[in-house]
Amino acid sequence: MDETHLLLTDFKEGVLTLTLNRPKVNAFNFELIAALQSAFKQAEREDQVRCVVLTGAGEVFSAGQDVTAFQQEEPVSFRRHLLRTYNPLILQIRRLEKPVLAAINGAVSGAALGIALACDLRLASERARFVVGFGGIGLAPDSAVSLLLPALIGLGRAAEFTFTNASISAEQALAWGLVNRVTPTAEFQAEAAAWATRLAQGPIRAMGLAKRAFNKAVLGNLEEVLDYEAHLQEIAGQGAEHKEGVRAFLEKRPPRYL
């Protein structure tokens, strides 16, 4: 498909809406990540942008990294990949001194989960599902999932859902504080637009300073964690478990790790 349409943008009433648009599951390739990085640069640069909404086209927010994108790059350096893709993107989102709302319209997993958790606020459709995802292909969490997920739902729950790769429903995500609100699917887009418009009409400078304070108080080690995740992912990515996980994924069968 036309790579220029991988990320749809819309600007209205101070709200820049970014829609991941890579069917069928909005999985990230290099071009989509670069488009997101460029869009967040635009949001930082332009004063008329007062709020950013990040959502997905169709019925899926994003399945995370497209593992097939690595098939043409051998050998893959996971550390180098993270240092030029997800790590700077996560930092962009956290350092943007404007509210960022993740409008989670469906399933989200892997690196996309980290991106959603890096946003300031999360609105979920009732059909949303949250999956850590990395263990399904023999990898460790990256994209700040190792920091943000325990911060939001607790270390024990984060460990359970990382180790089991089970999904978290929208209702459970709300009860645990993983999302701020859950809305019926039929009302989801209207609620996301209304909430973002209200945010855009607020004291953006003060919100930006509050976000800076939250980063200092709660996420002061974010950059260090991202770098360490990249180090660990380099180890995991060269291991036999990851190779078996990818083979199983491509062959549409359960992985055999024993």
CATH of the domain at 66: 3.90.226.10
Residue 89 located in a structural domain:
yes
Residue 142 located in a structural domain:
yes
Phi and psi at residue 14, to the nearest 5°? 80, 0
pLDDT score of 258: 83
Q: How far apart are the first and last CA of the chain?
A: 39
Residue 230 located in a structural domain:
no
Decide if pLDDT at 73 tops 50.
yes
142 class by beta-carbon count within 10 Å (0-12 exposed, 13-18 middle, 19+ buried):
buried
pLDDT tens column, 206-248: 999 999 999 999 999 999 999 999 999 999 999 999 999 999 9
Residue 67 located in a structural domain:
yes
Sheet containing 60-62, strands listed edge to edge, beginning at the edge strand earlier in sequence: 60-62, 107-109, 129-131, 167-169
Residue 229 located in a structural domain:
no
Decide if pLDDT at 16 tops 80.
yes
pLDDT score of 4: 52
Which range among 73-77, 119-123, 201-205 shows the weakest confidence by mean pLDDT?
Answer: 73-77
d(CA 36, CA 225): 21
d(CA 113, CA 137): 16
Q: How many domains does the chain have?
A: 1
pLDDT score of 74: 66
Choose between 1 and 99: higher pLDDT.
99
pLDDT score of 68: 86
Decide if pLDDT at 3 tops 70.
no
User: What is the arithmetic mean of pLDDT over 90-116?
Assistant: 98
Residue 223 located in a structural domain:
no
pLDDT tens column, 170-200: 999 999 999 999 999 999 999 999 999 999 9
Residue 192 located in a structural domain:
no
pLDDT score of 75: 75
Residue 250 located in a structural domain:
no
Q: How many CB atoms lie within 10 A of CB 30?
A: 14
Query: What stretches of 124-167 show up as alpha helix (H) in DSSP?
Result: 145-153, 155-164
Decide if pLDDT at 118 tops 90.
yes
CB 162 within 8 A of CB 79: no
Collapsed DSSP state (helix, strand, coil) of residue 217: helix
pLDDT tens column, 36-72: 999 999 999 999 999 999 999 999 999 999 988 876 6
Range of the domain at 158: 3-186
